[in-house]
Structure 1
């Protein structure tokens, strides 16, 4: 985990399509034309959908619902045609019109999707039957022949909007929503990867419309639909697979050789449909499914490669979603292949399997732009659709492989799917979305610890905030950005979190932290994370504001005390000095006045430069030691002239004075040496003498030495005494982390 300044062009700022530009709003004109284009696309989409509905509603149909059962021909289940109401439960044999065109009624006539017919011959027969039925219904008057020679004339009517069926409307609405989401993503951020996403969404919307048209009520499809459907859906499915592979070469980061990888993915889109249309491709369904599975394997390998290059959590989430999607599609393919041609396999279950798979994949596509947002309903929908896909696929496998009855296989499949859902729901959500919730106890514990440290060292505010955010979210990298951000925001589709730490409104330098790749690249940032970061920073700002208020009160109190000492005690000492009876008393009072002057000046100043403070300390010690006829050795080194707080200045001043006083009055020294050094954040202080002191480990620490220990501890350091050979005592002070107001910048 590293921390460094943000670099322009960093991938952290390659926002997802629905994220605003970091720290900047789009111009109103730029937003305005996007809204206009979106409104135009919405109108065009609605008009296109209305035209499709009018075309389907105008096609002739026969409002008869047939029921198939194992080993029996289809029979009339329900109908709104008065002439056929008496024939409910009877099995029709054929439909013919006045021109003599005829179509036989069997179980295949109820199939609506040639695309998912495994056998080429069955697919061709299905297309021929549906087109023949459309021609029969074009004649308007239709004769329905039943067994035992019964033939009833009925009238084929346009199905109308009410005849579109209950399933048509939600599928059409979902197709429109998919189309609009793709358009919004592209308009929000026009990029190559978003163009590819739009292609995926358009293909998926077209697939949903094909399914919607195939789900209409009654007998009969629009003329030409059955002929176009298998080839068109084949092209759409292959385009989706190629576009997903292409998108993985561009997002979350562009990959080497991406043009070659994308070209390999798009090759089946060109080759297979041309061969199938020309009749040169046998086993079309197997070739199509094999190509789609190959595209899926290539997409998984590509996104895994992207994650190895850069541990972006978006790539990790896409890889997990891809594994689930690939596994579900492979299971559906296996189930359809096993059920093909198996006697007793219900066509409605097979059709439901492909429909649920399509809904599952569509929900995942809709989920991708919102992975970093709170979209639990959409996540649950994707989960339920995936479990339903597994249930239907298992049902087909049980029927085909174990020859179970329809009810038995369906019941067993549903129980297995629900068991898998109940046991793995939370784990799958955590793995696919990475929504690991931070516990309240852990957050409070870390916040409390940092707040305590902040009270001791308020100057380290931004450093402590960065440490706290690292502990909470465990990012791989933290970038320092000198930019004022209005609020915490998730960028890069959840790959990064921007947290404003310090505002520039007060005249200082603004600072924001960019956290990249949460949980070491294993999960995405969410809006909940952004809200948590804002609350944490707000609490720390409150702590800093409280400490600043307390410090202002302390400064005011120090100023008052300094003023009182100067005006009252200083005036009295000055009077005593002029009334002194002896020169020795006059010198003593004069030195006391100088000490008082130094003390009041230190109390009145808010901060002290180290160079100025060391000069004052040297002047004070020189005067005192010269009067006592003691030599002074002085050595001060520092790599930068830092500002000392009042607490630091006062502690160092009292420590130096107390140690020198001990050397004079207890050690009776003739020489005192002081060495001080500040390198980085390491402060060392050594005061040695040649006095009579011995065995410091046996000393009883009174107020003087106890005060030294207390003040050194206040600085965050430690102190020890030892003998100074050949005679005397050395006191050594070490402060390993001497933080000053300049340290945190």
Structure 2
């Protein structure tokens, strides 16, 4: 079933996220994606994200580094007014830390100005540490800010820079430093890595879902939103964590991409809730959000409005309101459908809380001129809630119809990424050589990640399988219970214990266990005549059924079917053994006892009774001599029959023919002996015969025999057959032979032909 799911995921037909067909054709986009497997697509996304993250890291490090940790809000118990920006600390090993004498006083002084080698002096103020330039009131203010950043960055690139430091108490000081040409990785603050991590997580998780469902629009919109988050977070990571300034042109470009990424995220999320979990609009309207927000971005780029408040922040707020409205409409549309309602509740809550918290703490306050309530770098963590929620929603509610097997791809990718990251860290820090670093990182991943992966799989996927030994015991209980209501009740109890469905109903016909309504229910066929059942809402309604559940149901039904077949075979064997004993007693014991009854020779009577007891033991133990030759069998049989007929005063004609010595198997010898005895017994008892003719021939691979008498005969069509004829017919049919009975006024003839098992013939 998993192979079928993968084939369905990689198919070329476009489907809606709710399973409804869609006439939307993505053109070249879809044509390109279906050529590659989900692994290839996901790894491509991983490489693209990693490459872009490396570029952002390069831009963040390609800055002149002084080594000052600056803040516009000094952390003092008693506020002290000062000019410039407060020096919160000095990084060890930096140019600022290598000053002679007492050095630059940290935590008790402020940077008020910088002067370049050419004598250009620029005062430094809190506005130079502005984290997000689109918080300014007008585009003119933004342009002035970018120009000022460019001048400061140009001074920092000169051979030396004079820093004017104003201590809390005392005279101003000037410290000449030579800025480091590249910023160390260790100096990048946590906010940088948070924004890079959030961007990668959003892009990779969106790409993960899209790689597995690239033929549907809902995963595409989620991937677009993830790409938008990365496009927004990556540039912000560079400029929001700068030490003091970066070139103005670079700052302007990064800020523009940050805005484009935010609107792209909005386009993706609006499109997602237009189509998932229920299709609210026709496919041709899915492009409207992109057109509207794209046009709004064009207005921002051309500066046709007063400032970034209207050009950048307002469309983001409008997009967030649109998402909330669409979630409400979807909530109404999914009424009466628990599966869609569960998916919407989980996804809608994640998006509303994550994106809504970012808008409420950063965008909306800035739009209202109140200032951001949180640092942008910290606020990006809210977006991580969205994509963590998506990943957990895939596991619990099978969002986008993905099953547990989808996580195998993600876990393996994470394992490889950890291997590369640990390898890079070891090379940069403590291990210089490539081979030992890789070996050590491989050991760390093997010892740490693989056990952690299994633990995460149990926690995330919520694998709670019942104990197999208990299920096997219950299967055997069902199989050994006599057919009827008790057996059906135990079969139902077995399914309830294995899957704990919220409801279970009989009567569902299915050849094999199958998921119904994308996992809302599980159809289980009834093996061996037991009723089939439909199980709704797994685990008491807390999750949907998965392919793993269908596989377990298939295993249980196959196990139960085999157990029921084994029981039927056992009962059939018991019944056949009972019939054999009954036939042997009727055909052999009865004939011999009748012969003893008619015998007037007491010595012979005792001999026949002893032979009868011997035959009785053989019948019970089924231990007749299997190595009795054909000639010996006929001689013994002729002796017994002739004595019976002599005692009854009936003449016998005997003729036996064979191509040579042969040994008959037990079943064949027993059948031959029983048919002759029963036929003779019937002729003596019912036919009033004067002569009985017996003919036995071993012809190649078959035995042909007949017993004929000259008695009064009977009409086979009018006389009901007794046990004797029925037993003879059963014996011959059991060997694959044919029995015929012909009777009339001139007597009765019983003839049979059956295989002799020539594999045991000896020449």
| TM-superposed deviation, 1:351 | 3.3
| TM-aligned CA distance change 1:43 to 1:265, over 3 Å | closer
Instruction: After TM superposition, give the deviation of residue 454 of structure 1 in Å.
Output: 8.0
CA distance in 2, matches of 1:69, 1:130: 22
Deviation at 1:476, TM superposition (A): 9.9
Is 2:298 aligned against 1:271?
Answer: no
The one-character-per-residue Cα deviations of 1:409-441 (angstroms, maximum 9, x if unpaired) are xxxxxxxxxxxxxxxxxxxxxxx9996979989
Which residue in the other structure is 2:90 paired with? 78
Q: Distance in 2 between matches of 1:554 and 1:364?
A: 56
SS at match of 1:88: coil
- C-alpha deviation, 1:274, in angstroms: 2.4
Deviation of 1:133 after TM superposition, in Å, equals 2.9
- 2:330 is aligned to 303
Secondary structure of 1:159's aligned partner: coil
Distance in 2, matches of 1:501 and 1:131, equals 77
Aligned partner of 2:74 in structure 1 is 69
Match of 1:320 in 2: 346
Contact 2:520 2:536 in 1 (8 A): yes
Judge conservation of contact 2:62–2:183 (CA < 8 Å) in 1.
Answer: yes
Matched with 1:722 is none
2:271 aligns to what?
246
Equivalence for 1:137: 156
Deviations, residues 687-728 of structure 1 (Å, cap 9, x unaligned): xxxxxxxxxxxxxxxxxxxxxxxxxxxxxxxxxxxxxxxxxx
Cα drift, residue 270 of structure 1? 1.8
Shift in Å at residue 65 of structure 1? 0.5
1:220, distance to aligned residue in structure 2 (A) = 2.4
Normalised by the length of structure 1, the TM-score is 0.54
**Superimposed CA distance per residue, residues 143-163 of structure 1 (whole angstroms, 9 cap, x where no aligned partner):** 222234433332333324536
Matches of 2:266 and 2:228, distance apart in 1: 10
CA distance in 1, matches of 2:465, 2:137: 49
Please state how far the C-alpha of 1:540 moved relative to its aligned partner. 4.9
Give the superposition deviation at 1:300: 0.5
Question: For each residue in 1:379-400, what CA deviation from the matched residue of structure 2 results, as whole angstroms up to 9, or x when unmatched?
Answer: 9xxxxxxxxxxxxxxxxxxxxx
Residue 668 of structure 1: aligned partner: none
Partner residue of 1:199? 224
Q: Does 1:105 align with 2:124?
A: yes
Mark the runs of 5 or more structure 1 residues left unpaired by the alignment: 1-7, 17-28, 380-431, 503-507, 607-745
Task: Pick one of 332, 335, 351 that aligns with 2:376.
Answer: 351
What does residue 21 of structure 1 align with?
Answer: none
The alpha-carbon deviation at position 524 of structure 1 amounts to 3.1
Q: Which has the higher contact order (CA 8 A, sep 6+)?
A: 1
- Equivalent residue in structure 1 for 2:253, among 228, 232, 248: 228
Contact 2:16 2:279 in 1 (8 A): no
Trace 1:49-198 onto structure 2 (pairs within 5 A): 49-67=53-71, 68-69=73-74, 71-72=79-80, 74-79=86-91, 80-81=94-95, 82=97, 85-89=103-107, 90-99=109-118, 101-115=120-134, 127=146, 129-147=148-166, 148-162=171-185, 165=188, 167=190, 168-169=192-193, 171-172=195-196, 175-176=199-200, 178-193=202-217, 194-198=219-223
Shift, 1:74, TM fit:
1.7
Per the TM alignment, residue 234 of structure 1 is displaced from its structure 2 partner at its CA by 2.7
Checking the alignment, whether the CA contact within 8 Å between 2:164 and 2:174 is kept in structure 1 is yes
Q: CA deviation at 1:323?
A: 2.5
Matched, 1:290 2:317: yes
Relative to the length of structure 2, the TM-score reads 0.53
> Based on CA coordinates, which of the two structures has the bigger radius of gyration?
2
Query: For residues 532 and 245 of structure 2, what CA distance do their matches in structure 1 show?
Result: 64
Of 540, 543, 550, the match for 1:523: 543
How many residue pairs get aligned? The number is: 516
Q: CA RMSD in A?
A: 5.9
CA contact (8 A) 1:451 1:543 kept: no
Q: Paired residue for 1:740?
A: none
CA deviations on 1:609-663 (whole Å, 9 max, x unpaired) are xxxxxxxxxxxxxxxxxxxxxxxxxxxxxxxxxxxxxxxxxxxxxxxxxxxxxxx
Q: Tell me, yes or no, if the aligned pair for 1:475 and 1:515 is still in contact at 8 Å.
A: yes
Q: Distance in 2 between matches of 1:280 and 1:47?
A: 36
For 2:570, the equivalent position in structure 1 comes to 553
Post-superposition Cα deviations, 1:361-385, rounded to whole Å, max 9, x if no partner, equal: 3433555555546679x99xxxxxx
For residue 242 of structure 1, report the CA deviation from its aligned partner.
2.0
Q: Distance between the aligned counterparts of 1:292 and 1:472, measured in 2?
A: 42
- Residue 111 of structure 1 deviates from its aligned partner by 3.4
Mapping of residues 581-592 of structure 1, within 5 Å = none
